[in-house]
Amino acid sequence: MGNNYHTLPVTTTAWSLADFSAFLAELDRAITYHKLAIVHCDGRIHYNKATGVLTWTDTLRIHFNRADGLAIQNTVAAGNITLADNEFVYVDLSETNDAALSAAKGAITTGAASNFKAYNRLVLGYRNTASDAFFPVYLKNVEESIVTLASGANVTIDWSKGHKQQITLGHDVAFTHSGGVDGETYILYIRQDPASARTPTWVNTIYGAEITEVTISATLSSENILGFIYRTGIGYCLVSNVSGYVAP
């Protein structure tokens, strides 16, 4: 049917039922396929804002209604796909029940022929250009992946890259926060150096000077979990500190 419009009759002067049947059938399928399509996953679906990687840890299952009224299941094996800005992830549905599909991606160009209009093309979600965030279309329960930071003497935590970030200390680290949005909550997981206790310091003023009084556990390999809320005009407010947990 092409990239944008449904198939037209063979000639513009043909008006019999047979002439209209093919493209009306396409229109019927386009309406039926996308009405109440259900997408779910046997595992977890998560998205890494920093890298653009969308991952589904187990089989994706897609249920939709075929034009003849039958409920059809398609599947996508566990995997991942990396989305650049302005790209969407999709599957092309199959009328064969239990068909195994592959996920693909495409970029949207406005003012040009649509590449997501095809009757059997189900768009699962889209990566926004400005924020790098993933906006689900037919996917649900997409979790945000934890962003992993590299240790160094100075580390900037860019919260626009993800609300949950983690680091294993290999240095005495001076942390700088950036990218906060008013009212948003953020979690920082700090794993203590497994060989030698390290000390973090904080460049930003966080809720006055209280942050300078907060310490993390010196126990080697211990997990320390800090929770923040960003408030315009105040800064990064420490609201929780769970320190010293060591995994068994």
Q: Can you read off the two tokens belonging to residue 88?
A: 């969407």
Grade residue 229 by pLDDT with cuts at 50, 70 and 90: very high
112 Cβ contact list (under 8 Å, min separation 6): none
pLDDT of residue 77: 98
For residue 208, the model assigns a pLDDT of: 47
| Residue pair 194/222 in contact by the 8 Å Cβ criterion | no
- 3-state class (DSSP) for residue 60: strand
Residue 9 — pLDDT band, cuts 50, 70, 90? low
Percent of the chain with pLDDT strictly greater than 70? 83
Mean pLDDT score, 111-139? 91
Q: Which residue has the tokens 């800090």?
A: 226
Cα separation, 98 vs 77, whole angstroms: 12
Average pLDDT over residues 107-116: 90
CA distance 165 to 34: 36
Tell me the one-letter amino acid at 137.
V
pLDDT at 107: 96
Q: What are the structure tokens assigned to 43, written together?
A: 């595992």
Mean pLDDT score, 35-55: 92
Does residue 22 register a pLDDT over 80?
A: no
pLDDT over 90 percentage in the chain: 60
Q: For residue 238, what is the enclosing H or E element? A: strand 235-245
Q: What is the mean pLDDT of residues 205-231?
A: 78
Could you identify the residue written with the tokens 């039922």? 17
Q: 109 Cβ partners below 8 Å, 6+ apart? A: 115
CA–CA gap between residue 62 and residue 176 (Å, rounded): 43
**pLDDT tier at 187, thresholds 50, 70, 90:** very high
3-state secondary structure 156-188: EEEHHHCCEEEEECCCCCEEEEECCCCCCEEEE
**Per-residue pLDDT for 247 more than 70?**
no
Per-residue confidence band for 50, with pLDDT thresholds at 50, 70 and 90: confident
226-231: average pLDDT: 91
